[in-house]
Amino acid sequence: MPRMTSNRDLLARSLSAVWHPCTQMKRHETLPLVPIARGEGAWLVDFDGKRYLDTVSSWWVNLFGHCNPRINAALVDQLGKLEHVMLAGFTHEPVVQLSEKLRALAPAGLGHCFYGSDGASATEIALKMSAHYWRNRGQPEKTQFISLQNSYHGETLGALSVTDVALFRDAYGALIKQNATVPSPDWRKAEAGESAKAFALRCADALEAHLQQHHTRLAAFIVEPLIQGAAGMAMYHPVYLSRARELCSKYGVHLIADEIAVGMGRSGTMFACEQAGISPDFLLISKGITGGYLPLSIVMTTADIYQAFYADETARGFLHSHSYTGNPLACRAALATLEIFEQDDVLTANRSKAAFFNRIAQPLREHTKVRNFRHTGMVWAFEVDTPHADFAQRCFSLGLRHELLLRPMGNTVYFMPPYIISEDEMQMLVAHTIAIIDDLS
Ligand SMILES: Cc1ncc(COP(=O)(O)O)c(C=O)c1O
């Protein structure tokens, strides 16, 4: 008989053998880990059958629910054909099909797909590719990058060099290249009476001032389009992106759109850049691309950039790789995900879903302790007035008791649910969140 796993047993074994990510492990002396036995649609379930609504899509990756039958079937089929082959010197059907499909879906001009694994590896690839492009074009001094204040582009050393979150960066300061930041168009920072658009334009002026002064040494400006996720779901007006595109072209600096979190329909359009009518020089995709199944990231870029590497000398090529680059199973999960978008007209369905949620969320928006209620696509966020310095932890724990997986950032609560969330589940999410806020404010 196989040994039966219990919640308690798994927790003890996990704390003894697993070093969990983004965690002060000592905290688990008082805050228990949450054991998960299985997933089903928008729900995660423990070994006693206790369930949690996955309102954060398991770190923003899950689009069509846990154990989605269509993605499962595609993976089972792929397992019987090819699990993996190296992508240097070899190719396979899923990676070719996926690259062709993404070329058709992405903003114009992004015809070349380079593959990584997690989001941070896409950031690394784009930064390296940008600087290497300028070197190949005879401008080796262009090696600096800029990002927005409070930006987040991943945790590896290159990605941290364009990430402006002190908690994640400071311990590694000596290891990280110093890059500058420019003001964030996050509309919460606008002057009283200033519109989100006017504020975005004012921030774009600050970007121009920086570009004017430093463009000769700048390789690229990297930006999270429309929503700065880790900054607490900071949202901003698309005019900032249109101006950023114009300015980067004017000053000869690449624009890297990091759509790792906001791509794949999360912002309301397939890619957030569409809402500003722009094409970046690099588009970064990860997280939702496999429906939340397997690690995969893609850097899409232009013919101009591709051609700068196309030469007789090996060293002019982009000699970057990861063992699992373009893994067939991950690509097949991505193809199944894109098929669901097509077959179910997901972007249209999400618009109705978001409208429904905005209607039923009215009591939350009007709650006396709720500030800055905001929404873009399938992301909602707000701040809570609370006396508790440890609000995030309390809210997480209380959320579990209310069958919700909530992971506030400071006093910012956000919802980024799987797209298959039902109307009943949305009603429950609003009602239980109000109960939690009443308890904690
Ligand atoms: C905008 C953005 N870029 C990059 C990353 C890093 O992705 P990963 O955690 O897969 O390395 C994240 C992760 O949250 C992100 O939100």
- In short, whether 288's Cβ falls inside 6 Å of ligand 1 is no
Q: Which atom of ligand 1 is nearest to the CA of 295?
A: 10
What pLDDT is attached to residue 348?
98
CA 185 and chain centroid, separation: 18
- Do β-strands 51-54 and 112-116 pair in parallel, antiparallel, or remain unpaired? unpaired
Alpha-helical segments (H) within 317-390: 328-343, 346-360, 362-365
CA distance linking residue 303 with residue 398, whole number of Å: 51
Beta bridge partners of 383: 371, 412
* d(CA 226, ligand 1 centre) in Å: 15
First to last CA, the chain: 49
**What proportion of the chain, given as a percentage, has pLDDT over 90?**
98
CA distance linking residue 124 with residue 158, whole number of Å: 6
pLDDT category of residue 441 using cuts at 50, 70 and 90: confident
Cβ contacts of residue 192 below 8 Å, gap of 6+?
A: none
Tens digit of pLDDT for each residue in 125-171? Answer: 999 999 999 999 999 999 999 999 999 999 999 999 999 999 999 99
Tens digit of pLDDT for each residue in 327-378? Answer: 999 999 999 999 999 999 999 999 999 999 999 999 999 999 999 999 999 9
* d(CA 113, ligand 1 centre) in Å: 18
- Do β-strands 112-116 and 144-148 pair in parallel, antiparallel, or remain unpaired? unpaired
| The two structure tokens encoding residue 150 | 């409070």
- In short, whether 286's Cβ falls inside 6 Å of ligand 1 is yes
- In short, whether 295's Cβ falls inside 6 Å of ligand 1 is no
Q: Long-range CB contacts (< 8 A, 24+ apart) of 92-100?
A: 92/326, 92/328, 92/331, 93/328, 94/328, 94/331, 94/332, 94/334, 94/335, 95/326, 95/328, 95/331, 97/331, 97/335, 98/298, 98/331, 98/334, 98/335, 98/338
